[in-house]
Amino acid sequence: MIIQKEFSLEPKPRGFHLVTSEVLKHIPELKQVKAGIAHVFVKHTSASLSINENADPTVRTDMETHFNIMVPEEGEHYEHTLEGPDDMTSHIKTTIIGSSVMVPVKNGSFNLGTWQGIYLCEHRNHGGSRKIVVTIIGE
């Protein structure tokens, strides 16, 4: 069986946001899958997806802090700044983190570890809603 859904996540402020529940809300068909894999993809070049800590929100704050130090907006060497100082830095962060995650599916649910969740990593100051495509392959 192959299931593919496209939907938009609610707009989020800049930062790292736990969106596992929001993604699951849009794919009730997952309940039909005994075993498989879910590919979750964000259709944007200035936001990314990651799997990480789902319990302590300070991890998400620390991730935002780290990436802002690693890829500072104050750099004068960026040429692609037409949409503001967070433009090129958002593309760099997306390249580092990635635009998709793969999640095992077992008995109609994501088979994540106890402390794992899916993050939407919003790298723009005003990114808006983000389009997500979930493709599930399973039985």
70: tokens are 């690693």
Q: What is the pLDDT along the chain (139 residues), one digit of tens a residue?
A: 999 999 999 999 999 999 999 999 999 999 999 999 999 999 999 999 999 999 999 999 999 999 999 999 988 889 998 899 999 999 999 999 999 999 999 999 999 999 999 999 999 999 999 999 999 999 9
Instruction: Give me the pLDDT at residue 81, please.
Output: 87
Global confidence as pTM = 0.96
| Dist CA 75 CA 90 (whole Å) | 13
Q: So what's the pLDDT on residue 118?
A: 98
Q: Is 131 helix (H, G, I), strand (E, B) or coil?
A: strand
Q: What is the pLDDT of residue 76?
A: 83
CB 133 within 8 A of CB 41: yes
Q: Which domains does the chain have, with CATH numbers?
A: 2-138 (2.60.120.460)
Q: What is residue 41's predicted lDDT score, i.e. its pLDDT?
A: 99
Q: Which residue in the block uniquely carries the two structure tokens 């994501």? A: 110
Give the pLDDT score at 22. Answer: 98
CA 96 – CA 90 distance, rounded (Å): 10
